[in-house]
Amino acid sequence: MTSYIIRRLILVVPTLIGAMLINFLIVQAAPGGPVQQVISQVTGTGVAATQRVTQAGGELETGAGSGQPGGGGGSGDVRGDYRGAQGLDPDFIKSLEKQFGFDKPAHERFLLMLGNYATFDFGESFFRSRSVTELIIDKMPVSISLGLWTTILTYLISIPLGIAKAVRDGSRFDFWTSVVVLVGNAIPAFLFAVFLIVVFAGGAYLDWFPLRGLVSDDWETLSWPMKIVDYFWHMALPLLALVVGSFAGLTMLTKNSFLDQINQQYVITARAKGLAQRRVLYGHVFRNAMLIVIAGFPVAFVNILFTGAVLIEILFSLDGLGLLGFEAVVNRDYPVMFATLYIFTLLGLVLQLINDIMYTIIDPRISFEAMN
């Protein structure tokens, strides 16, 4: 197993480089980069024109500097034909390119970005005047809370429910729970979140839960028991919205996995020996049936953490990594955009390796040593 882990860790490097290169090339071909946006603001064609540009010599109030890590793209930004730039001093445009790091060729910027990212130096945000690392650390608790608790709750609900449906396959319980599962799967998480806000968060009826934030403003003054209560009070509606939209697929996967194993010969033999139903299910069937369920854990966690929770973060004013990455794409904040991509990809690869290790823990018969 050790040699397999080493091989997988070595493969992380080319995989990361490949993912970063593909996205770098896509961004390189996309118009509307940060320099072009600032020029649009200066010429009055952008929104909130002068918030990021000072009066003194056209200097920017940004964190970008020459050779800025993550200044990775935007074909319209480097020596390009800037629309709406007529009448601007060429030296001003060159100073913008230099401050955003676009005064270097594309390949140099990419290599510079990789070198800095190898030491987890993500530079500074173009438009937030803060380091990318600080931004990510600030947003991490929200995303971790949403992703981790949603995944745990989804598994705690889906696995017992899937097992119960498999044991009672074809019964009225199986039918009605399938109806509930299908209805939950058909309702988008963000739409159910709107319903929860309207009904329970002061939208039109009840005002039982807070509408924004991860904790209350006076959280620091609360006792530890009350801090925990306050935290889950704020998390209740977002988690409910995410769980309802997430547990259907895992429930049916668990049911089908158990049905497949229940019909195997070793289960029939165990029952013929007079073993109790509970011991057959959890002593023999569970280990084999859970392999495919556990295989989806890293994917489920990453999807909830970085993609599925974006709209939930917006609706409940939860400022997490998903919202940060989305805003970075919209605003062409390349250091934030590429840093979040780098971290998401790295985390996904690490979780996939952990998933393989869990395979061997659950079923020692599985070995990756023979794989080349």
Q: What are the tens digits of pLDDT across the range 132-143? A: 888 888 888 888
| Terminal CA-CA length for the chain | 12
pLDDT at 95: 65
Tokens describing residue 294: 């556990």
Least confident piece of the model among 111-125, 306-320, 331-345: 306-320
Tokens describing residue 277: 């139903």
Least confident piece of the model among 217-226, 329-338, 363-372: 363-372
3-state DSSP assignment of residue 271: helix
pLDDT of residue 78 exceeding 50, the answer is no
Split at pLDDT 50, 70, 90, the class of 128 is confident
pLDDT at 369: 60
Contacts of 130-137 with C-beta under 8 Å, sequence gap 24+, read: 130/63, 131/63, 132/70, 132/335, 132/336, 132/339, 133/339, 135/324, 135/336, 136/321, 136/324, 136/339, 136/340, 136/343
HEC per residue, 178-231: HHHHHHHHHCCHHHHHHHHHHHHECCCCCECCCCCCCCCCCHHHCCHHHHHHHH
- Greater confidence (22 vs 362) lies with 22
pLDDT at 316: 82
pLDDT at 362: 65
pLDDT at 93: 64
Mean pLDDT in residue range 188-202: 84
Mean pLDDT in residue range 121-138: 83
pLDDT at 64: 45
pLDDT of residue 124 exceeding 70, the answer is yes
Percentage of residues of the chain with pLDDT beyond 90: 1
Mean pLDDT in residue range 211-238: 84
pLDDT at 63: 45
> What residue type is assigned to position 260 of the chain?
D
- Greater confidence (149 vs 69) lies with 149
pLDDT of residue 187 exceeding 60, the answer is yes
Split at pLDDT 50, 70, 90, the class of 368 is low
- Greater confidence (280 vs 149) lies with 149
- Greater confidence (65 vs 361) lies with 361
pLDDT at 210: 83
pLDDT at 75: 43
Split at pLDDT 50, 70, 90, the class of 339 is confident
Q: What are the tens digits of pLDDT across the range 298-336? A: 666 666 666 567 778 878 878 787 778 778 877 778 888
Q: Which helix H or strand E contains 45, and what residues bound it?
A: none
**Which structural domains are found in the chain, ordered by start?**
20-126 (no CATH), 134-331 (1.10.3720.10)
Contact 278, 328 (CB under 8 A): no
Beta strands in 18-143 (DSSP E): none
pLDDT at 32: 63
Contacts of 55-59 with C-beta under 8 Å, sequence gap 24+, read: 58/89, 58/92, 58/95, 58/96, 59/95, 59/99
CB count within 10 Å of CB 363 equals 14
Mean pLDDT in residue range 218-224: 83
